[in-house]
Amino acid sequence: MPDLRVSDIDLIKQDVMSNEICFSHLADELIDHLCCDVENEMAGGLSFRDAWLKVKGSMGNRRLREIQEETLFAVDTKYRNMKNTMKISAIAGTIMLGFAALFKIMHWPGAGIMLTLGSLLLAFVFMPSALTVLWKETHSGKKLFLYVSAFITSNCKGTALADGRTDTGFSIIVGSPCICSCPAVY
């Protein structure tokens, strides 16, 4: 069976790391597994480049990230609970805000309470759990900054509009730097 050169292994390692695999033990296992697959293909007479392209093609673009997510989900109970909390609170908060808007339009009682509860649910349950899950999956401060700034911007603009103010100067002053800095993050 042909052996891989150090430069070949480094190329595989680079590709794995470019997929934002941050769970270190998983990254090592994936690199080892991919090297074995490439060596197996090379034993069939392919060059390293052709074997690597064949192995990459059989995996697809997002498969390594999916493997990381599945591993985190299976290994970490706290992560699993946080992800479920995130999904449930997002659905419940969004539905509550939707009904609050309907009640507000129809001038039915209870609109203010539902609006407040839905906003609080999204702000204090969904957002922290979503940021925790994002951090756990990517360990990327840039993406975390992007989501936090988008959250602050949407809350400022949403608060100004919910209060019935047409002069959203404060939200524009606070929100615009956040939006303008987001493209610079990448």
pLDDT tens sequence across 39-94? 999 898 888 999 999 998 888 878 888 888 888 777 777 777 888 888 999 999 99
Please say if the pLDDT value at position 176 is more than 50: no
Tell me whether residue 129 is exposed, middle or buried, using C-beta atoms within 10 angstroms of its C-beta: 0 to 12, 13 to 18, 19 or more: buried
Please say if the pLDDT value at position 112 is more than 70: yes
What pLDDT score does 143 carry? 74
What pLDDT score does 163 carry? 55
What are the tens digits of pLDDT across the range 118-135? 988 988 888 888 887 777
Least confident of 6-10, 47-51, 98-102, 155-159: 155-159
- The band of 158, judged by pLDDT with boundaries at 50, 70 and 90, is low
Please say if the pLDDT value at position 175 is more than 80: no
Please say if the pLDDT value at position 182 is more than 80: no
Mean of the per-residue pLDDT values of the chain = 79
pTM, entire model:
0.50
Q: Is-contact 73 79, C-beta < 8 A?
A: yes
Nearest to 145 by CA among 102, 184, 171, 111: 184
Nearest to 87 by CA among 99, 98, 79: 79
Please say if the pLDDT value at position 166 is more than 60: no
What pLDDT score does 185 carry? 40
- Domain range summary for the chain, segments of one domain joined by +: 6-69, 75-185
Q: Where are the alpha helices (DSSP H) in 44-140?
A: 48-59, 63-75, 77-106, 111-121, 127-138
